């Protein structure tokens, strides 16, 4: 059973490979900022709660794979699409404020100065479409969360050195637990895979709820 990953995240790809799944990765090409802005316009206060935001983007990414143009960019055709399609998205919440990827060094630095010695919540959205047999048979999704506790003895020089690697610029919350940022995390409450961006236990449950078998995805 094929798994199509509607994401270009190296961390999600590595996570799936580590549990025995070699997915077919497809860049979904979703305008995330525009999608969130449009959805937030219908919400009181104009701000989407973090779980709703990551679920919205996860769903849009998975659904984008059904578009012929997106498939063509990936070198595939609609006739070849046969399996499960997974979309994912993550965001970090600190003091009720939701943060995505910082992109700029100055932004990442400000976030680290604010979050060292403190705790925040990493939200990861999942949306799984059953496209076995070449047609949509159903879809399901849920968000997972994990609380991240940052060390309180992180030196500013360490923060600057970490930002200089470029790693925190490309990830939600400006940190990782599976690479250089791991040393700055004291502990995690919840599924650690959620912090990487894909909860493996939750994915297994979603596969089962769609009538699939987790072990049928093992192809490595």
pLDDT digits (tens, 9 = 90+) for 52-100: 999 999 999 999 999 999 999 999 988 889 999 999 999 999 998 998 8
Q: What is the pLDDT of residue 91?
A: 93
As its CATH architecture, domain 2-217 has Alpha-Beta Complex (3.90)
Indicate if 89 belongs to the active site. yes
Q: What is the pLDDT of residue 218?
A: 97
Enumerate the domain spans of the chain. 2-217
Model confidence, pTM: 0.93
Phi then psi for 218, rounded to 5 degrees?
Answer: -70, 120
Structure tokens at 38: 């449009």
User: Cα separation of 131 and 140, whole Å?
Assistant: 12
What is the number of other CB atoms lying within 10 angstroms of the CB of residue 117?
Answer: 12
Number of H helices, E strands in the chain: 8, 7
Which of 52, 67, 89, 130 is flagged as catalytic? 89
Q: What is the pLDDT of residue 152?
A: 96
Q: What is the pLDDT of residue 100?
A: 84
CB neighbour class for 178 (10 Å; exposed up to 12, middle 13-18, buried from 19): middle
Which portions of the chain are predicted below pLDDT 50?
none
Taking a C-beta distance cutoff of 8 angstroms, is the pair 26, 76 a contact? yes
CB neighbour class for 46 (10 Å; exposed up to 12, middle 13-18, buried from 19): exposed
């Amino acid at each position: 059973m094929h798994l199509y990953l509607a994401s270009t995240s190296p961390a999600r790809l590595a996570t799936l490979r580590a549990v025995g799944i070699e997915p077919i990765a497809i860049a979904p090409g979703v305008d995330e900022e525009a999608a969130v802005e449009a959805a937030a316009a219908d919400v009181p206060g104009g701000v989407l709660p973090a779980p709703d935001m990551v679920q919205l983007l996860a769903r849009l990414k998975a659904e984008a794979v059904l578009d012929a143009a997106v498939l063509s960019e990936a070198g595939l055709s609609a006739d070849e699409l046969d399996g499960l399609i997974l979309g994912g998205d993550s965001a970090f919440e600190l003091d009720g404020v939701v943060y995505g990827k910082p992109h700029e060094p100055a932004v990442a630095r400000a976030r680290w100065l604010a979050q060292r010695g403190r705790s925040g919540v990493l939200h990861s959205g999942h949306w799984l479409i059953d496209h076995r047999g070449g047609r949509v048979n159903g879809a399901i999704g849920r968000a997972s969360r994990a609380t991240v506790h940052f060390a309180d003895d992180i030196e500013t020089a360490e923060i600057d050195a970490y930002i200089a690697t470029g790693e925190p610029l490309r990830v939600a919350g400006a940190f990782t637990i599976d690479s250089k940022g791991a040393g700055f995390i004291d502990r995690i409450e919840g599924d650690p895979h959620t912090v990487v961006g894909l909860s493996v236990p939750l994915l297994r449950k979603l596969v089962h709820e769609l009538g699939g078998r987790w072990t049928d995805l093992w192809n490595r």
